């Protein structure tokens, strides 16, 4: 008789799989993707390397799923902030910048890993997909602002992509494992405010 998984066995398997994902996510948040070794994940979960691999088609797939989970959470958090800001496009842009940048500066290792760390092409493909999602979010804000006469007419997709790139580039010096390029005396709040001011100028919005 062929084995058929029951609801109970499926539930146990899903819990075990999630446990491996949680352990891997914690390691990425502390040590980056390079530090999330399957052997270390297995040891933390008190299981075998083979057991971990039985739930994922290789380490790259495991880390891609870790990336999706963490990036989805960040994207949803930024999106929620934008939706609840307002009502003007500059206010929504301020919320996008503040939420993205302040969360990155608070969780620096995870932010560095999600944004900049060299990764497997499978994980890089996820990174590009989420970058496009941020571009789309910024583009929607800009189109609303242009339609309302709050910002000058401009090519919304290009401006949005440039804004998202500027936010990341402004943060990289503070997020790298060996911070460089930014005045160490500059507070995180000051960095966020400067990025907000730059982005407002970039879209042609008045300063608050």
pLDDT tens digit sequence for 98-133: 999 999 999 999 999 999 999 999 999 999 999 999
Q: Is the pLDDT of residue 146 over 90?
A: yes
The mean-pLDDT minimum among 50-54, 56-60, 204-208 falls in 204-208
- How many Å apart are CA 52 and CA 59, to the nearest integer? 9
Q: Going from the N-terminus, what domains does the chain have, and what CATH number goes with each?
A: 63-203 (1.10.357.10)
Say yes or no to pLDDT of 34 above 60. Answer: yes
According to the model, what pLDDT value does residue 12 have? 79
Q: What is the mean pLDDT of residues 28-44?
A: 95
Alpha-carbon separation of residue 116 from 52, 87, 157 (angstroms): 26, 32, 22
Measured between alpha carbons, how far is 160 from 23 in angstroms, rounded to an integer? Answer: 35
pLDDT for 149: 95
In the predicted model, what is the mean pLDDT of residues 41-53? Answer: 95
What is the predicted pLDDT for the residue at 204? 94
> Coil, strand or helix: which one is 7?
helix
CB-CB contact of 100 with 167 (8 Å) = yes
Q: Percentage of the chain surpassing pLDDT 90?
A: 85
Is 70 exceeded by the pLDDT of residue 5?
no
Q: What is the pLDDT of residue 177?
A: 81
Pairwise CA distance, residues 105 & 103, whole Å: 5
| Mean pLDDT value across residues 50-65 | 95
Provide the 10 A C-beta neighbour count for residue 72.
13
Q: For residue 182, what pLDDT is reported?
A: 67
pLDDT band at 86 (very low <50, low <70, confident <90, very high): confident
Q: Identify which has the larger pLDDT, 182 or 63.
A: 63
Task: Report the mean per-residue pLDDT for the chain.
Answer: 92
**Distant-in-sequence, close-in-space partners of 70: CB < 8 Å, separation ≥ 6:** 25, 28, 29, 110, 114
């Amino acid at each position: 008789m062929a084995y058929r998984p029951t609801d109970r066995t499926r539930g146990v398997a899903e819990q075990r799989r999630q446990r491996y994902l949680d352990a891997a996510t914690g390691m990425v948040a502390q040590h980056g993707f390079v530090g999330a070794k399957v052997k270390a994940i297995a040891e933390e979960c008190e299981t075998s390397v083979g057991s971990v691999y039985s739930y994922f088609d290789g380490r790259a797939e495991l880390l891609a799923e870790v990336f999706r989970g963490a990036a989805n959470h960040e994207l949803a958090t930024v999106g929620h902030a934008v939706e609840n800001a307002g009502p003007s496009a500059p206010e929504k842009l301020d919320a996008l910048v503040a939420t993205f940048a302040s969360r990155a500066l608070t969780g620096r290792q995870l932010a560095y890993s999600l944004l900049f760390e060299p990764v497997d092409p499978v994980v890089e493909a996820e990174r590009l997909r989420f970058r496009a999602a941020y571009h789309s979010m910024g583009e929607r804000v800009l189109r609303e602002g242009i339609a309302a006469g709050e910002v000058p007419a401009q090519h919304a997709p290009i401006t949005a992509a440039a804004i998202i790139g500027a936010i990341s580039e402004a943060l990289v010096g503070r997020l790298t494992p060996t911070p460089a390029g930014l005045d160490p005396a500059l507070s995180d709040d000051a960095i966020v405010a400067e990025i907000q001011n730059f982005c407002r100028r970039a879209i042609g919005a008045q300063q608050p």
